[in-house]
Amino acid sequence: MTVAFACGATIMNKLVSPKGIVSRESSKLFGDVPKPDRAEWEKTLKALKPWLSPEKFAETEAIHWRMFERANRWHENFSLSSDDPAAS
């Protein structure tokens, strides 16, 4: 689970900038990704907690929520560009 989490973080960092998607090609790649569900993300953190030291958990939690916020921003930008026919 930790390896998958790290890979997900790497992918998100490469494809999503603070201003949104880096290229239109990335949106084709992630076009079918569901919007993040906060309850699922909280469940994942809860499952990780027993396996990590308090310091490592705090670090992981901060990264986890940054990824969540980026994913939400991506979905907001994606839905805005999908609704705008001029953006195509």
Higher local confidence (pLDDT), 77 or 3: 77
> pLDDT class for 7, splitting at 50, 70, 90?
very low
pTM, to two decimals? 0.52
Three-state SS annotation for the chain: CHHHHHHHHHHHHHHEECCEECCHHHHHHCCCCCCCCHHHHHHHHHHHHHHCCHHHHHHHHHHHHHHHHHHHHHHHHHHHHHHCHHHC
Using one digit for the tens of pLDDT, what is the confidence trace for 25-79? 555 555 566 788 899 999 999 999 999 999 999 999 999 999 999 888 888 876 6
Q: Domain-by-domain residue ranges, the chain? A: 40-81
Share of the chain above pLDDT 70, in %: 50
Using one digit for the tens of pLDDT, what is the confidence trace for 73-86? 888 876 676 655 55
